[in-house]
Amino acid sequence: MSAVHLEVVGSIATLRLDNPSKLNSLTPEMLAGLDGHLDELDRAGDVRCVMLTAEGDRAFCTGADINAWGDLPPADFARRWVRDGHRIFDKLARLAKPTIAVLNGHAFGGGLELATACDIRVMAEKATLALPETGVGIVPGWSGTQRLSRLLPEPVLKEMALFGRRLAADRALSLGFVAEVSDDPLASARVIADRLLATSPRATEVTKYMIHAAVGEDAPSMIEALASGMIAASADKKEGVAAFRAKRKPEFPGA
């Protein structure tokens, strides 16, 4: 039975796709599990870093299980499958905690889009990346033409999405899409995660917001989060809340 497991050891959380018999293709149950775990991680103040990986070494994820969406009516395919998946992937992308995709094997279609929603990626030497959607009569639906276009050069993205060419690990590294190519990507990701633990939790969170605001990853929300965090520490906010509770006119100090 397919699932998504969450394990927290110290300050590092690991999300693991578990559908190896189908190359970790995503089912509705797995999307729901990922959705719930992301909500849990968003509230977990003791977690500093999230690693996303999968069972087995053949594939990280080969996309959405065709049996889950192949017979859906067009409206349901667009409204439920594509939009729900997009919402969940956006939730991963906008998680305040730094995230690392551990590509233990091939990442195709929705699997590549899932990895793209993470902050950085570590990739196995034998793994490849692909966007095979047009070969089955559909288009990338979970940010493959949007978020991925900010991380890969346009001609390379067109090679993959239009011509079906795979991107090998060494080329993905040279393009900056992956941070490291390793014969043990999980161990390499743990080294990166451990290094993060020496940094300021609040500073890394705010830095991620700043970068996302700059590149357009939910920029309005990121800008308001940064501004709200700043104003929440002000004497004006403290006075405003106190005045409201005391039912009096506030006397803002301007600090």
Residue 238: the pLDDT is 93
Give the residue with greater pLDDT, 124 vs 141.
Answer: 124
Which pLDDT score, from 0 to 100, does residue 250 have? Answer: 93
Tokens at residue 207, please?
């830095």
Residue 224 annotated in active site: no
Candidate list 7, 40, 133, 251, residue with the active-site label: 133
pLDDT in tens, 127-150: 999 999 898 888 888 888 899 999
Cα 19 off chain centre by: 19
* Spatial separation of the C-alpha atoms in residues 61 and 8, rounded to whole Å: 22
What local confidence, expressed as pLDDT, does residue 71 receive? 65
Residue 122 has which token pair?
A: 């570590």
When pLDDT is averaged across residues 55-66 and rounded to a whole number, the result is 89
* Cβ proximity of 123 and 174 under 8 Å: no
| pLDDT number for residue 1 | 60
Instruction: Tell me how far apart the alpha carbons of residues 155 and 98 are, in angstroms, rounded to a whole number.
Output: 29
Q: Is residue 133 flagged as an active site residue?
A: yes
Work out the percent of the chain whose per-residue pLDDT is above 70.
Answer: 94
Residues 53 and 17 sit within 8 Å (Cβ to Cβ): yes
Mean pLDDT of 247-251: 94
Tell me the pLDDT of the chain averaged across its residues. Answer: 92
From 29, 55, 113, 239, active-site residue: 113
Q: Which amino acid is at 251?
A: E
Residue 20 DSSP label: G
- Lowest mean pLDDT, pick from 14-23, 199-208, 224-233: 224-233
Mean pLDDT calculated for residue range 185-191? 97
Architecture of the domain made up of 3-196: Alpha-Beta Complex (3.90)
pTM of this prediction? Answer: 0.91
